[in-house]
Amino acid sequence: MIRILTDSTSDLSPARAAELGVEILPLSVQFGEESFADGVDITKEEFYAKLAQAEALPTTAQIPPETFIDAFRRMTQNGDQVLGIFISSAMSGTYQSARIAREVVGTSHIALVDSQTVTFALGLLVETACILRDQGLSLEALAARLEELSRRVRLLAVVETLKYLKMGGRITGAAAVVGGLLGICPVISIENGLVVSVGKGRGRKAGFQLIEKWLREKEAVDTALPVSFGHSNAPQAMAECMDYFKGCTAGTQLCPMDIGAVVGTHVGPGAAGLAFFVKEAGD
């Protein structure tokens, strides 16, 4: 049997992970002297409540190799194989920790994929991996397919507030003040494994319009594969996003998810967007 392992930045709910048969290992989040296992010691709701009161951004820490060694040994002890899909190696050392652990445990039954993404785009890859696993692919074929899909996955989201991007030093204080006064909402994506701004609009709807233009002119949604929608403590914003893009996602399997601590640290509450696979050339 192939068992699928991911980390807490995939933002799969515990109930959905159990339904899929996926195991999740947590990164840690630290507010001052307090450290929490993401999704274990602190829920997403509790995280955003603490974030709203924080004078400085929390820090996050990768999963150490020792945690992966224990997980790999436990998951393979009865002859099972493991496919691990983790947060972008450009954002965290978690993937490197998994590689170190695989060398210690042995490589024949463990395949690892650097997703090159995070949050509900990583969750989308995990959801798709489960579909392919259930189709009977071998571990080698499954890993190869996920490597290919990781190059086709996209995340586009509208950020409601510039406060946390300012706190993280990603924009200047002056830009945050002006942006706040004008109601500017950045549109973010993932490029080369890192979160980047790809545009901005005045208000959420204008941000959705920019994403719509992207889908129409640059990269269309592959409706043969699932699509995920995500939000950071703003379910109504996600509902608006799902309604806005219902035309270009009709007929797909939809996977709603909540943005957790790692990306939530930088974008804050109120973000909403979608993740999808782009159509292959010739489709």
Span 130-187, pLDDT tens digits: 999 999 999 999 999 999 999 999 999 999 876 776 665 544 443 333 344 346 788 8
Residue 241: its H or E element: helix 235-244
Q: What is the pLDDT of residues 77-125, one digit of tens each?
A: 999 999 999 999 999 999 999 999 999 998 889 999 999 999 999 999 9
Give the separation between CA 97 and CA 173, rounded to whole angstroms: 35
- Domains contained in the chain, CATH given: 2-27+62-150 (3.40.50.10440), 153-277 (3.30.1180.10)
Question: In the prediction, which pLDDT does 106 show?
Answer: 86
Sign of the torsion angle spanned by Cα atoms 85, 155, 223, 18: positive
Q: pLDDT grade, residue 50 (50/70/90)?
A: very high
Angle at 6 between CA 274 and CA 69, to 5 degrees: 160
33-38 long-range contacts (CB < 8 A, ≥24 apart) are: 35/61, 37/8, 38/8, 38/9, 38/260, 38/261, 38/262
In the three-class reduction of DSSP (H, G, I as helix; E, B as strand; rest coil), residue 182 is classed as helix
Give the separation between CA 87 and CA 24, rounded to whole angstroms: 12
Give the separation between CA 2 and CA 24, rounded to whole angstroms: 15
Nearest alpha-carbon partner for 139 in 117, 113, 118: 113
Question: In the prediction, which pLDDT does 255 show?
Answer: 93
Contacting residues for 154 by C-beta, under 8 A, at least 6 apart: 121, 189, 190, 219, 275, 276, 277, 278
- With 0.85 as the threshold, say if the pTM is over it: yes
Tokens of 187: 């549109």
What is the pLDDT of the chain when averaged over all its residues? 90
Q: Are strands 2-7 and 28-31 parallel, antiparallel or unpaired?
A: unpaired
